[in-house]
Amino acid sequence: MSVESFELPIQVQPADIDGLGHVNNVVYLRWVQDVAVAHWRAAATAAQQAEVLWVVLRHEIDYKHPARLEDGIIARTWVGTATRYAFERHTEILRARDRKLLARARTLWCPIDPGTGKPKRVGDDVRERFSVPTGA
């Protein structure tokens, strides 16, 4: 499996639609988190998943075009640069039928120790599997 990018198919649900007749902005945020978690679970080993939990430090989302009830969605994600305590993750929300970009997100995730709940450094194995090398 290539971990450079990961895709998750999503179907828009009636509850996702707001008063304007399109997917609510909060739903896009949920999709950003859902695809990140799915990527981690699909690509990380059981040992890695037991040793590291993740919390969000920051989300940035640019909304390009609306999604509607009849749309199938593809959430596509990949990890960018990593510093000591922040991993950058990129996400694109695409309409499935034509792969039109609907939204683009950048999220900073912090690895935490499951036992203490405090930030932790992750091993080289996680960095090699998920992130772009950086000098930080």
| Other beta carbons within 10 Å of 83 | 13
Q: Which region among 25-39, 57-71, 118-132 has the lowest average model confidence (pLDDT)?
A: 118-132
Within a domain: residue 1? no
Residue 98 maps to a domain: yes
Does 126 fall in a domain? Answer: yes
> Per-residue pLDDT tens for 82-125?
888 899 999 999 999 999 999 999 999 999 999 999 999 987 87
What is the structure's pLDDT at 122? Answer: 81
- Please determine, for residue 66, whether its predicted confidence score (pLDDT) is greater than 80: yes
In a domain, 135, yes or no: no
pTM across the whole model? 0.90
Report if residue 136 sits inside a domain: no
The predicted model gives 57-84 an average pLDDT of 95
φ/ψ (deg, to 5) at 13: -105, 155
Output the domain CATH number for residue 62.
3.10.129.10
**Residue 122 forms part of a structural domain:** yes
How many domains is the chain built from? 1
pLDDT at 3: 46
Determine phi and psi for 27, rounding to 5 degrees: -65, -40
| Digit-coded pLDDT (tens) for 13-34 | 999 999 999 999 999 999 999 9
- Residue 60 belongs to a domain: yes
Q: What range does the domain containing 85 cover?
A: 6-130
